[in-house]
């Protein structure tokens, strides 16, 4: 089970006229005054000319919400700092018409957004600071706050080398995107068991196809990487062909999590050559009755998990958002319907580490057993035993359970 990822880049010869220096449009590079309008003017002018490079020379910049468009590259000089204002007036409610004709309404305009475009790049050794500390104090959970990078219905996306810091809410949030490469980015938010950095998922991938994540380094207040899938207009939109590799996760609810939104289905996902250091759980697949969907053909291999605060590897179709719910045993059989989740054909190979709770924890539903799960050379040290309930054909280091 290996995900094959293809990314088609649109190549063109860059001339001086294709480079749009934001300071030439009035942006202040000292960070002393907002330059939202200047940045957006540069983006709009590049888009009017069928695309180009929107360039940030060395310096510091202060901005509100900006919108990216097709064939735009945000290119940051080395060590640029782009700070976002924390005034809610900069991020008013937003209504967008999506490609299928439906409208979506967001309570806040994202800090950086793109809807229904193609060929977008954000690159450079730059710090993008969302000033989330003010938002977390002002609007603690369950409040919704602005997303940092919200990119929906985009084809051909590249995020490279940037650091995203202190997002008000989700850091990188992708939905219905195809042909995505995310390489060498860093995400930094406080762990929410130390300081309040709530709902700051690192990278969310929802109903996307052909995604390659490599060399990322994430420490955050929710899942480091989360994969989901949805139903739209009664059509399942799956997440398929995802490769996550060569990455390091620190604080977070899960190193790599699948679900709990599984309605559209997820398949052909590979996670390899990663280190999880201090996350709550290492690898977590979660769903529940009412979510539905099929999760299958998932491969995890060559992973080290150190100082995990809860279970090492967890798979559950009884997830309700709480640890108490995850460990509930009072489940009775119900008829299978389109809202029943199914999980099968998962492979774990060459995984080592330690966890505070169960090294392997798998709980299915009476009507939907979790089945065909293989563990080969998996060694996770723990005071607790392996726990299995409502499972079929679980093979752990050669032994069938």
* pLDDT reported for residue 321: 65
Residue 19 lies in a domain: no
Confidence at residue 10, expressed as pLDDT on a 0 to 100 scale: 45
Question: What local confidence, expressed as pLDDT, does residue 197 receive?
Answer: 64
In a domain, 53, yes or no: yes
Inside any domain, residue 264: yes
Our count of domains for the chain comes to 1
pLDDT (tens digit per residue) in 367-386 = 999 999 999 999 999 999 99
Catalytic residues: 253
CATH number at residue 116: 2.160.20.10
Task: Report yes or no on 155 lying in a domain.
Answer: yes
pLDDT digits (tens, 9 = 90+) for 91-148: 999 998 877 777 889 999 999 999 999 999 999 999 999 999 999 999 988 889 999 9
Is 114 within a domain?
A: yes
Peptide bond connecting 142 to the previous residue in cis, omega within 30 degrees of 0 = yes
253 occurs within a structural domain: yes
- Cα distances (angstroms) measured from residue 228 to each of 58, 257, 258: 37, 9, 6
Residue 16 lies in a domain: no
Please tell me the pTM assigned to this model.
Answer: 0.94
In a domain, 11, yes or no: no
Q: How far apart are CA 20 and CA 22, in angstroms?
A: 6
pLDDT at position 27: 98
Is there a cis peptide before residue 18, judged by omega within 30 degrees of 0?
A: no
Query: Within its chain, how far is the Cα of 8 from the centroid?
Result: 21
Residue ranges making up the domain that contains 141: 24-400
Sort strands 186-188 and 30-34 into parallel, antiparallel or unpaired: unpaired
Mean pLDDT of 83-91: 98
Judge residue 53's burial from the number of C-beta atoms within 10 Å of its C-beta, 0-12 exposed, 13-18 middle, 19 or more buried: middle
């Amino acid at each position: 089970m290996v995900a094959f990822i293809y990314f088609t880049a649109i190549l063109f010869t860059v001339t001086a006229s294709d480079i749009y220096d934001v300071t030439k449009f009035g942006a202040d590079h000292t960070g002393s005054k907002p330059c939202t309008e200047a940045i957006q003017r540069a983006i709009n002018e590049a888009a009017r000319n069928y695309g180009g490079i929107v360039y940030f020379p060395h310096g510091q910049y202060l901005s509100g919400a900006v919108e990216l468009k097709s064939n735009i590259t945000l290119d940051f000089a080395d060590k640029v700092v782009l700070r976002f204002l924390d005034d809610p007036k900069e991020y008013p409610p937003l209504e967008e018409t999506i490609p299928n004709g439906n409208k979506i309404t967001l309570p806040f305009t994202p800090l950086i957004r793109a809807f229904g475009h193609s060929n977008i790049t954000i690159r450079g050794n730059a710090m993008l600071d969302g000033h989330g500390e003010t938002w977390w104090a002002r609007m603690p959970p369950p409040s919704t706050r602005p997303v940092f990078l919200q990119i929906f219905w985009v084809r051909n996306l590249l995020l490279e080398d940037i650091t995203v810091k202190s997002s008000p809410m989700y850091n990188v949030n992708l939905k219905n995107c195809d042909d995505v490469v995310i390489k060498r980015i860093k995400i930094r938010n406080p762990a929410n068991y130390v300081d309040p950095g709530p709902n700051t998922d690192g990278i969310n991938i929802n109903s996307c196809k052909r995604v390659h994540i490599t060399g990322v380094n994430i420490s955050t207040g929710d899942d480091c990487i989360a994969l989901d899938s949805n139903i739209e207009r009664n059509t399942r939109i799956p997440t398929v062909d995802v490769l996550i590799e060569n990455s390091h996760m620190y604080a977070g609810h899960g190193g790599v999590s699948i679900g709990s939104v599984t309605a559209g289905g997820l398949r052909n996902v590979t996670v390899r050559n990663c280190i999880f250091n201090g996350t709550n759980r290492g690898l977590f697949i979660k769903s529940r009755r009412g979510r539905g969907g099929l999760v299958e053909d998932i491969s995890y291999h060559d992973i080290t998990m150190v100082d995990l605060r809860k279970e090492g590897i967890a798979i559950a179709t009884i997830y309700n958002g709480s640890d108490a719910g995850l460990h509930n045993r009072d489940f009775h059989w119900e008829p299978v319907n389109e809202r029943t989740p199914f999980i099968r054909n998962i492979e774990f190979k060459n995984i080592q580490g330690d966890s505070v709770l169960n090294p392997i924890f798998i709980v299915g539903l009476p009507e939907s057993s979790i089945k065909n799960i293989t563990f080969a050379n998996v060694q996770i040290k723990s005071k607790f035993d392996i726990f299995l309930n409502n499972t079929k054909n679980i093979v752990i280091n050669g032994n069938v359970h």
